[in-house]
Chain A
Amino acid sequence: MLVMIIRRLAQSVVVMLTVALIAFTLFRYVGDPIAQMVGQDTPIEVRERMRAELGLNDPVVVQFARFVGNTLRGRFGISFRIGRPVSELIVERLPATLELSFLAALFALAAGIPMGIYTGLRPERWLSKVFLTLSLVGVSLPTFFIGILLILVFGVLLGWLPTFGRGDVVQLGWWSTGLLTASGLKSLIMPAFTLGLFQLTLTMRLVRSEILEVLRTDYIKFARARGLTSRAVNYGHALKNTLVPVITITGLQLGGIIAFAIITETVFQWPGMGLLFVQAVQFADIPIMSTYLVLIAFFFVIINLIVDILYFVVDPRLRTEATPHGH
């Protein structure tokens, strides 16, 4: 088991270095950093001097090493557009995104897994058919459209919920949370629902297809042949085998939440990392873009690692060696 963890860690480092390389290439070679930072009529000598000062004439390997070193120390450069250090911007906006994403993920799992189980075990019921139709709609409706419709209905027409921003937030150290105020909570409802809906439908469909697959196996047939109660068969044997791959695949899918947070934050003007990134792309703000890339890659790598470990913990076949004894 230790061997596996070490191997995975090594792979993760390789992936991170590759991503860092891409980010570095972006940072250094796309567009001219100097041109972005100074005015139009700065003389060439001044530019050359800045170039030397910033170490832009050093060998590529040295620059890359410096980049990696800086990144590890949290020095991500200065935003072209805003003019402030990227690390500051991130610290400001990360809590907003994390809170939103976490709530959306919770919603998606808490609703999606039971719905999936229900539609898998009782496919003939009317409610199952309703769930399935809703899931198809959820997969097809673009996230931003759902958000817009929700704003239209609950914000504009009914006026129940705020239509943009986070509401009032409370500072806890460097973290700002919206969970402790009424307006903060109200502001979270629509964005979290919008962000979580796609994930929910994916989860539900995954759980359902896994359960249907499991119910067709020989060991379920044998369990029935042994006369076990349908409770034992469905919730003991079938569910256990279903949730193992589901837990792990869902972990991987949660990465999708981060991606779709970009859209949700744009629709609701949510002051998080996603909105920051979109604005960076619109204005070709390279430092933010490359930092976002590295951060996202890091996040994904961590998730993958946790999922691999989870797999290991949950599936006994991976833990013990398959040692045939005798005949």
Chain B
Amino acid sequence: MTATPAPAAPLLSVRHLEVQFPSRRRTLTALQDVSFDVLPGEILGVVGESGAGKSMTGNAIIGLLEPPGRISRGEVLFAGRDLTRLDQAALRRIRGREIGAIFQDPLTSLNPLYRIGDMLVETLQTHLPLSAAEARRRAIAMLAEVGIPAPQERFHHYPHQFSGGMRQRVVIALALCTEPRLVIADEPTTALDVSVQAQIINLLKRLCRERRTAVILITHDMGVIAETADRVCVMYAGRIVEIGPVRQVIKHPLHPYTRGLMAAIPHLGGVAEELAQIDGSMPRLDAIPPGCAFNPRCPRCFAPCLGAVPPLWEVEPQHQAACFLYGEEAGAPAPAGAGPEARP
């Protein structure tokens, strides 16, 4: 099948992104040939094991890679501009204003010596021409929106005076207060109690839907993706191995790795069997096997898998997988980053 051209312009377009870590002894490639699009207002899930490169992708997009990490190839097109070519000053203006970020641990994300109200006002005044009083009003309104009770009082409190879930709400407020068009949420619920996780995810989903804010939701929890995301992309050893609409990927996982991930989720009801698991573990960055990185653990591995890295083939509409199993059927590989059709 040939790729369907995307009629709507994507908000974010990552093309052939490659991130490397040069050191004295050798150069490690953390991300390779990563390409995907994000449409305005959609929620794209990025899922994979620890070390697969999910957070790295988020960091690379907003230009916060830790040195010596650097983008060695590719481009990140946001609203028409290539973020990888911008200077620090221009990038800084986009960060926080157009693209927001939420990180994993709310305890360490907030400066313990700053009142949360001051942090909100500071963020607002950096990007928007607001008076102090106006910024304060907006900050308190934002706190109310994320569900913090008694926001006028809480405005003056320090981070340690909030519980974990409350802190993450504050973080969300900080990320959304400037009305960005895209939010990168890196494991927003992993550090929270299970009982609180659902609340935070629902809050995030609601706020972003209301504001038509696109979200890149990075997590290793497939359950969260199933509930929240529109599309999902699966990463393995620094590459995307599958990408497509959430329902489809869950019902018909194409890539053997994705199949393994789905099978490993326990199901309620049904016959109690052994918990399926994928043998082995993801290779370290300096020990990636030649060919398809998954081949040592793949139950369907055959000859071509050892020779070359499989490109992403569009197997079903908007549903791509990087696996030689689909090589001949799919014909020519899909053009990189083919996006979804416009949503009605």
Contacts and interface: CB of A to CB of B under 8 A. Distances in A.
Interface string A300-327: 0000000000000001110010111111
Nearest to B58: A225
A218 B106 CA distance: 9
A38 interface: no
Interface stretch (A150-158, A170-178, A237-245, A256-264): A237-245
Contacts of A223: 111
Interface in A197-218: 217-218
A219 B109 CA distance: 4
Contact of A320 (B93, B96, B123, B158): B158
A49 interface: no
A323 B159 CA distance: 10
B95 A225 contact: yes
B161 interface: yes
B97 interface: yes
A317 B95 contact: no
Contact of B113 (A221, A225, A316): A316
A316 B171 contact: no
B27 to A, nearest CB: 21
B122 A324 contact: no
Interface stretch (B162-170, B250-258, B324-332): B162-170
A59 interface: no
A239 B3 CA distance: 53
Contacts of B166: 324-327
B311 to A, nearest CB: 32
A323 B95 contact: no
Contact of B163 (A224, A237, A327): A327
Contacts of A227: 92-97, 123, 126-127
Interface in B313-344: none
A52 to B, nearest CB: 63
Given A218-B105, A224-B64, A228-B122, A324 B162 contact: yes
Which of A221, A223, A225 has the largest count of B CB atoms less than 10 A from its CB?
A: A225
A226 interface: yes
A4 interface: no
Nearest to B63: A224
Contact of A325 (B101, B108, B161): B161
Which of B94, B108, B199 has the largest count of A CB atoms less than 10 A from its CB?
A: B108
A40 to B, nearest CB: 67
A226 B158 contact: no
Given A218-B108, A221-B64, A326 B126 contact: no
Contacts of B101: 222, 225-226
Nearest to B112: A317
A223 B160 CA distance: 17
A228 B62 contact: no
A135 B64 CA distance: 32
Categorize the interface residue count of chain B. 35 or more
B110 A222 contact: yes
A232 interface: yes
B175 interface: yes
Contacts of B199: 327
B28 interface: no
A188 B310 CA distance: 76
Nearest to B171: A222
A237 B162 contact: no
A224 B95 contact: yes
Contacts of B126: 226-229, 232
Contact of A241 (B97, B113, B127): B113
Contacts of B93: 227
B109 A324 contact: no
A224 B101 CA distance: 10
Contact of B110 (A219, A322, A327): A219
A316 B158 contact: yes
A240 B108 CA distance: 16
Contacts of A232: 122, 126
A197 to B, nearest CB: 32
A326 B163 contact: yes
Interface in B53-79: 62, 64
Contacts of A325: 149, 161-163, 166
Given A219-B111, A322-B160, A324-B162, A229 B92 contact: yes
B302 interface: no
Interface string B96-140: 110011010100111111100000001100110000000000000
Nearest to A327: B165
Contact of A316 (B62, B112, B149): B112
A218 B103 contact: yes
Contacts of A221: 64, 103, 109
A325 B100 CA distance: 26
A229 B160 CA distance: 25
B174 interface: yes
Interface string B141-173: 000000001000000001011111110000100
18 contacts: A222-B174, A225-B62, A226-B123, A226-B126, A227-B92, A227-B94, A227-B97, A227-B127, A240-B114, A244-B113, A315-B112, A315-B113, A316-B158, A317-B160, A322-B160, A324-B163, A324-B166, A327-B165
Given A218-B105, A219-B109, A227-B92, 16 more contacts: A218-B108, A223-B111, A226-B126, A227-B94, A227-B127, A228-B96, A228-B123, A229-B126, A240-B113, A244-B113, A315-B112, A317-B112, A317-B158, A317-B160, A320-B160, A327-B196
